[in-house]
Amino acid sequence: MAQIKVLQTIDYLERLHANESIDLKNVVRTTLKVAPYPYIPDSVGDQYKSLLQYIKTEFENAYPSISLELRPMNASDDFYNISTLTGWLTSDGNEYDVVEVDTILLGDLVHAGLIAPLVDTSINRSDWHVAADIAVQLNQALYGVPHIMCGFFLFTRDSKVASSTTIDHLKYALNNVSTTNYRLVGNLESSWDLPALWMDSYQKTSPSRGAVASALHDYHKDSFVTMRKLAELCNRMRGDNPCLNGTFRNNYDGPALLFANKTAEAMFGYSERLSLVLKNGFPDDHQNINVIPLPSGNSVNQQTFFIDAYVLRRNMSNEVSKAALLFTKFMATPRMQAAVVASADGPYRNRIPRYLLPVSQKAYDEPLLKQDRFYQQYFRKLTGVPYPTVGFLNTHQALQVAILEYVKSSIHIMPDIRPLPARKPKVKTERSKAKG
């Protein structure tokens, strides 16, 4: 029976692309269950309902023989919990066939035996960003299809600050800025973000192919000097340091709102933070804000990328396996890549992109991105490396403790008692809040 269903599906698709008339009542539809990665900006402000409906409609229009079921996107879901992912990927179809994960966990999923290599030779990887292609491979085997990317950036309206390429250049540029307000803002207390920032700094100081992975284990107290310098730039005239003193621990949007209100000279954070800044900032920000890879090292200021990718559960039937591969390849097309990152699911008027980065390099030529200054001027030609896919899950907390112990021992920290700017309607949270 399974073989008959597969043959029916293949015949249906061939006839569909040949523009033949088809009676959908006689087509056996395959159900595909997908859990999308939820820690992205809810730029439409409807709990991602528009985005999910957009994806479902576009995909089912292209492949009417497949019924796509998408898990509601909720920031409270724990996509970084291996137990949760294990339950979803070993359910034999009761949970999800495809799960979108941060590839920083890919090695853990492989070692747990939850996913198998993809052997479909029709997957076209030539359009993928090099870092994304590397991130979905382990021992030269392909374990996923990349979807979107992001990384840590510096946001500033000052062209001199934006010309910084190392942490010392950044320190020099910001030292000339008054500390009455905020010079640099961002959260250094996250158990995920702080180690990731350190790894980014490490590869920008020792830009070898394996530098990012080495940063997980090959570190000592003196190697945290760049992180201390970054933290010191958050110091203010009164002696407080909002990046370290808990100001942003439970106020994830705080740095972006301070920068949007022009209370802070510069901000560091994920690329998608730009969406919240533009939503709450000034009309001229579209032309005045500069975005560069965070200059946190001492050498080459190349980007370190997080990559989210679709992975497939084992033991799928032939028809579900085929549907899963069709979906992952569909989402990697330039048109769908541009649609997701540019918020095509929202109304045209006042639309603000999510400012996630597409994996597809041809996506930058799509109409939705072609006229966007940030995508064309800052993101299009980024080069760099992915975060490692093995080891981060088990080492990040110990690494956070070590970094904070060194940094806080050399910086006098006082609690910040000044109120932050009033919270405006916001774009919802991203990966940092999810990981803490």
User: Higher model confidence: residue 23 or residue 229?
Assistant: 229
What is the amino acid identity at position 101?
A: V
Res. 436: pLDDT tops 70: no
Q: What is the pLDDT of residue 216?
A: 82
Helix (H) / strand (E) containing 404: helix 392-409
The SS3 call for residue 58 is helix
Specify the CATH architecture of the domain 2-147+307-365: 3-Layer(aba) Sandwich (3.40)
| SS3 label, residue 184 | strand
Pick from 316, 297, 280, 311: nearest CA to 422:
280
Q: What tokens does 366 get?
A: 């799509």
Is the pLDDT at 5 greater than 70, yes or no?
Answer: no
Which part of the chain is CATH 3.40.190.10?
2-147+307-365, 152-302+383-435
Length of the chain measured in residues: 436
Torsion angle, alpha carbons of 154, 279, 431, 307, to 10: -70
For residue range 258-279, what is the model confidence (pLDDT) as tens digits?
A: 999 999 999 999 999 999 999 9
Higher pLDDT among residues 413 and 83, named by residue: 83
434 or 335, which is more confident: 335
Phi first, then psi: give them for residue 38, nearest 5 degrees: -95, -5
The conformation of residue 187, written as its DSSP 8-state character, comes to -
Q: What's the rounded Cα separation, in Å, for the pair 108 and 112? A: 6
Tell me, what's the pLDDT at 209?
65
* Residue 290 scores a pLDDT above 80: yes
Pair 292, 318: CB distance under 8 Å: no
Q: Does residue 429 register a pLDDT over 60?
A: no
| The pairing of beta strand 357-358 with beta strand 152-156 | unpaired
Asked whether the CA dihedral 237, 416, 295, 40 is positive or negative, the reply is negative
The percent of residues above 70 in pLDDT, for the chain, comes to: 87
Phi, then psi, of 262 in degrees rounded to 5: 65, 30
User: Tokens standing for 229?
Assistant: 């310098």
Q: Are 96 and 35 in contact (CB under 8 A)?
A: yes
Q: Report how far residue 432's alpha carbon sits from residue 371's, in angstroms, rounded to the nearest whole number.
A: 29
Assess whether pLDDT exceeds 50 at residue 395: yes
Arithmetic mean of pLDDT, 78-96: 89
Q: 382: closest CA among 317, 304, 269?
A: 304
Query: What would the mean pLDDT of 306-317 be, rounded to a whole number?
Result: 96
At residue 412 the predicted structure's pLDDT band, cuts being 50, 70 and 90, is low
Closest CA to 8 of 33, 35, 30, 38: 30
Ranking 25-39, 156-170, 370-384 by mean pLDDT, the lowest is: 25-39
Q: Specify the pLDDT at position 249.
A: 87
Instruction: Please tell me whether the overall predicted TM-score, pTM, comes out greater than 0.85 for this model.
Output: yes
The two structure tokens encoding residue 9: 């599906």
The pLDDT value given to residue 435:
55
Answer yes or no: are the C-beta atoms of 199 and 384 closer than 8 Å. Answer: no
Q: How many other CB atoms are there within 10 angstroms of residue 75's CB atom?
A: 17
- Please report the pLDDT score of residue 422 as a whole number: 45
Q: What is the pLDDT of residue 416?
A: 47
**What average pLDDT score do residues 386-402 get?**
93
pLDDT at residue 68 tops 90: yes
199-248: pLDDT as tens digits: 999 999 987 767 777 888 777 766 799 999 999 999 987 778 999 998 99
pLDDT of residue 387: 96
The rounded mean pLDDT for the chain is: 88
- pLDDT, greater one: 434 or 7: 434
State how far the Cα of 266 lies from the Cα of 256, in Å rounded to an integer. 10
Q: What is the DSSP string of 222-286?
A: GGGHHHHHHHHTT--TTSB-TTTSSTTTS-TTHHHHHHHTT-EEEEEEETTHHHHHHHHS-TTHH
Which residue has 């904070």 as its token pair? Answer: 404
Residues 47, 53, 59, 60, Cα dihedral to 10°:
150
| Cα separation, 25 vs 44, whole angstroms | 35
User: Helix, strand or coil for residue 149?
Assistant: strand
* Res. 421 pLDDT band, cuts 50 70 90: very low
Q: What is the average pLDDT across 316-337? A: 97
pLDDT at position 163: 97
User: Strands 98-102 and 384-386, how do they pair?
Assistant: unpaired
Which residue matches tokens 């100081």? 205
Pair of tokens at residue 278? 């533009």
> Which fold would CATH assign to domain 152-302+383-435?
D-Maltodextrin-Binding Protein; domain 2 (3.40.190)
pLDDT number for residue 21? 47
Give the HSE-up count for residue 215: Cα atoms under 13 Å, Cβ half-sphere. 30
| SS3 state of residue 200 | helix
Name the token pair of 344: 């095509």
Distance CA 189, CA 395 (A): 16
Per-residue pLDDT, 24? 54
Two tokens, residue 358: 């597409």
Distance CA 51, CA 71 (A): 12
